[in-house]
Amino acid sequence: MIMILLLLLLLLLLLLLLQLLLLLLLLLQLLLLLLLLLLLLLLLLLLLLLLLLLLRLLLLLLLLLLLLLLLLLLLLLLLLLLLLRRILLLLTILLLNTGDYYCYCYY
């Protein structure tokens, strides 16, 4: 009996850890979205500078390409985090599935 209670407590601790990890992933995604917004603003500013300073066209184009590459990398990281979040949500649902037919899904 005590062993079953200990196993249930361990399962609850594992679920709590998964939920905390999901919360951290959500916060990281929000931070990445803010960073993406800042990058987009910087790109718009660089486009404006590109229009104003035609003499330094090559340098600004290089910087613009680097920023676009960074933006693509951040978007890829965001997609990977979304995939990891989805996997952790599915793992949480599988751990919460006790055989009764209630839905514990928190979408």
Query: Where exactly are the structural domains of the chain?
Result: 2-95
Q: What confidence tens digit (pLDDT) does each residue in 1-13 have?
A: 889 899 999 999 9
Q: Which residues of 28-61 are buried (b: 16+ CB within 10 A; e: fewer)?
A: ebeeeeeebeebeeebeebeeebeeeeeeeeebe
The pLDDT assigned to 51 comes to 81
- The parts of the chain modelled with pLDDT lower than 50 are none
DSSP class of 99: S
Identify each DSSP E strand in 1-89 by its residue range.
none
The token duo for 34 is: 């803010």
Helix axis angle for 57-96 and 2-52, nearest 10°, is 160
Question: What SS3 state is found at 83?
Answer: helix
